[in-house]
Structure 1
Amino acid sequence: MSKADYPYPEDEFDAISPDAPTGVHRAPRSAWSRWWPFLVVLLVVPVLAYGAVEYLSRTGDLPQSGGGTSQEQPEVPAEEDATGGEGDGTEAPEGEAEAPVPEATTPAPEPVLTTPVAVLNGARVSGLAGRVADELTAAGFTDVTPDNATTALPAESTVYVASEDLRPTADLVAATTGVPTVEVAPDRADGGIVVLLVTDPDA
């Protein structure tokens, strides 16, 4: 209702003091006054949250995803250097020399079973050379020839070998035939090994 439509005459209550407010409307607020509380929340809350997380992580009370709080794992001491000798019980006592490392030995030469072996019968026992030759063949020798002796006979049955390099092979021949004597004699070994029998080794 406007003042022109007011039907009653003005009285003392209609008089307006110049010092009195003319209405209940407030002055318009600035944009800053409306937004600054939100800006404070946006800035202060993350800072407080970050500080809380840092504090809890340092004190070990930060909750874990599986429940409970994080606890520092006990440190496992690193193993002592094996070469240092501390605490491993392998250090040699002071003043005691370490045991020398044995040098690698050269393996003994193996018998050569393809070496020619002649078995000569000088004992006048029928079939002796053939029987002894069969024993050598059964032992693995591949070139064995039985025959009769035509040269001077030694005092006892002997295995003659052409060189010292064939000694392992001659030793195997002697062990197989039962002849105890082995002699290096190139002139009687015929370039290989000769078993000269003057008695029957099995007799």
Structure 2
Amino acid sequence: MSKADYPYPDDEFDAATPDGPRGVHRAPRSAWSRWWPFLVVLLVVPVLAYGAVAYLSRTGDLPVVGGGTAPAAEETQAPEDPAAGEPAPEGEGPTETAPEPEAPVAEPVLTTPVEVLNGARVAGLAGRVADDLLAAGFTDVAPDNATEDLPDVSTVYVASEDLRTTADLVASTTGVPAVEVDPDRALVGIVVVLVTDPAA
């Protein structure tokens, strides 16, 4: 707006004194004065962040991903036993010995060949006992008549000690009390020789 377009009359504020200021003029700012605050932020903030991380990592208070703080490394020492360095008195050994681990018990092998021989002269005895073994899960059972020398009591013969668990299951299933390792009579499996009826 020019002076000629000013619609109001002059008053005492429009009258300028010779010794009064005519206006305020500022010198243009230099580029350095505009950019130095940003440079301070770019230099000081990373230095402060590095110092904070280094301090927290030394004290163990550094935050862990997922919340919480990292647990400080704790050095645990076993309590000292005053008698640990003393020699044991003569004639005295350790009072307790660790129990030896027990050998795992072998599982019965139900596919082992089992032959049931009837020497009791009871009709159908070998077939009935063979059915009991099949019902117990054995898969290879053959009934027949005994032709060799008969034992004094009904006996389960097993070819090797490795089949002891399987022979024990045969004995408990058939009701035969005796189990013997005899490769000559059992060959490669188990042979049940019945001289009496176990169910009698």
Provide, for residues 105-138 of structure 1, a one-character-per-residue CA deviation record: whole Å limited to 9, x for no partner: 3311111110000000110111111110111111
Instruction: Output the CA distance in 1 between the equivalents of 2:139 and 2:82.
Output: 55
Candidates 175, 183, 187, aligned match of 1:186:
183
On the 8 A contact 1:162/1:185 being kept in 2, the answer is yes
Q: Equivalent residue for 1:107?
A: 104
* Residue 161 to residue 137, structure 1, CA distance change in 2 (3 Å): same
Candidates 169, 185, 201, aligned match of 2:198:
201
* Residue 160 to residue 85, structure 1, CA distance change in 2 (3 Å): same
Larger Rg: 1
Displacement, 1:146? Answer: 0.7
SS class of match (1:133)? helix
Provide, for residues 120-178 of structure 1, a one-character-per-residue CA deviation record: whole Å limited to 9, x for no partner: 01101111111101111111111001111111111110101111111111111111111
- Please tell me the residue identity of whatever aligns with 2:140: D
| TM-score for both structures, normalised by structure 1 | 0.52
* Equivalent residue pairs, number: 121
On the 8 A contact 1:136/1:177 being kept in 2, the answer is yes
Q: Over the residues paired in the alignment, what is the CA RMSD in angstroms?
A: 2.6
Where does the alignment leave 5 or more consecutive residues of structure 2 unmatched?
1-72, 89-93
Where does the alignment leave 5 or more consecutive residues of structure 1 unmatched?
1-77
- Please tell me the residue identity of whatever aligns with 1:143: D
| Identical counterparts, % of pairs | 69
Candidates 140, 147, 152, aligned match of 1:150:
147
Displacement, 1:98? Answer: 9.1
* Residue 152 to residue 93, structure 1, CA distance change in 2 (3 Å): same
- Please tell me the residue identity of whatever aligns with 2:162: D
On the 8 A contact 1:132/1:177 being kept in 2, the answer is yes
Instruction: Output the CA distance in 1 between the equivalents of 2:136 and 2:151.
Output: 26
Q: Equivalent residue for 1:85?
A: 79
Displacement, 1:103? Answer: 4.5
* Residue 92 to residue 179, structure 1, CA distance change in 2 (3 Å): farther
On the 8 A contact 1:116/1:144 being kept in 2, the answer is yes
Instruction: Output the CA distance in 2 between the equivalents of 1:173 and 1:135.
Output: 10
- Please tell me the residue identity of whatever aligns with 1:156: V
Written as runs of structure 1 = structure 2, the 5 A alignment for 1:1-203 is 81=76, 83-85=77-79, 101-203=98-200
Displacement, 1:190? Answer: 2.7
Instruction: Output the CA distance in 2 between the equivalents of 1:170 and 1:137.
Output: 14
On the 8 A contact 1:188/1:194 being kept in 2, the answer is yes
Provide, for residues 38-59 of structure 1, a one-character-per-residue CA deviation record: whole Å limited to 9, x for no partner: xxxxxxxxxxxxxxxxxxxxxx
